[in-house]
């Protein structure tokens, strides 16, 4: 999902100024909508190599089971982004399900990426299944865990 700069700014401004609206929220639809926006920010942050946005939405104790079959923490992921090991010309996400359980949001779906540079052979298309785990704490959603596994490389 590719967002215009204006849409990206609007989403980021809304999230940062509003600080989320899930406090005492019993309607999972609202929380799911907020998590969907957080997923869009995550995709934008990866595509634009925007570490400041990513650091605002990723928990300090984040753990990732990466498509490379390595388990990494936030510092390792930020270093990989900086060095070009996370670099895509395209990153599209199709969310199949968002499940809210109290202050935890679970997102499952399919993502399609086109790696470049050190990430993988330019021109290939990687499809992967992913699961992202978000936690609502201190009036905001933070990604606390992520798992992504390649299902095909074309």
HSE, side-chain direction, 13 A CA sphere, residue 143: 26
List, for residues 60-72, the tens digit of each pLDDT value: 999 999 998 999 9
CA distances from 98 to 41, 62, 94, 118 (A): 16, 19, 11, 32
Q: 0.95 cut: is pTM over it? A: no
Instruction: Name which residue leads in pLDDT, 12 or 64.
Output: 64
Helix (H, G, I), strand (E, B) or coil at 112: strand
* Domain ranges, ordered by start, for the chain: 5-153
Residue 77 has pLDDT above 80, yes or no: yes
Tell me what the mean pLDDT of segment 128-152 comes to: 95
Task: Say whether domain 5-153 belongs to CATH 3.10.450.50.
Answer: yes
pLDDT at 120: 79
């Amino acid at each position: 999902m590719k967002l215009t700069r204006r849409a990206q700014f609007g989403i980021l401004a809304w999230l940062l100024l509003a600080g989320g609206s899930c406090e005492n929220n019993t309607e999972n639809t609202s929380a799911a909508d907020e998590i969907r926006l957080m997923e869009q920010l995550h995709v934008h942050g990866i595509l634009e190599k925007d570490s400041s946005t990513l650091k605002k939405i990723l928990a300090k104790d984040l753990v990732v089971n990466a498509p490379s079959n390595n388990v990494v923490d936030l510092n390792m992921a930020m270093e990989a982004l900086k060095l070009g090991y996370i670099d895509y010309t395209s990153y599209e996400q199709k969310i199949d399900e968002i499940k809210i359980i109290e202050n935890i949001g679970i997102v499952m779906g399919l993502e399609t990426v086109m790696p470049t540079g050190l990430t993988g052979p330019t021109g290939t298309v990687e499809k992967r299944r992913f699961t992202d785990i978000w936690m609502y704490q201190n009036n905001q959603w933070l990604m606390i865990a992520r798992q992504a596994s390649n299902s095909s490389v074309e």
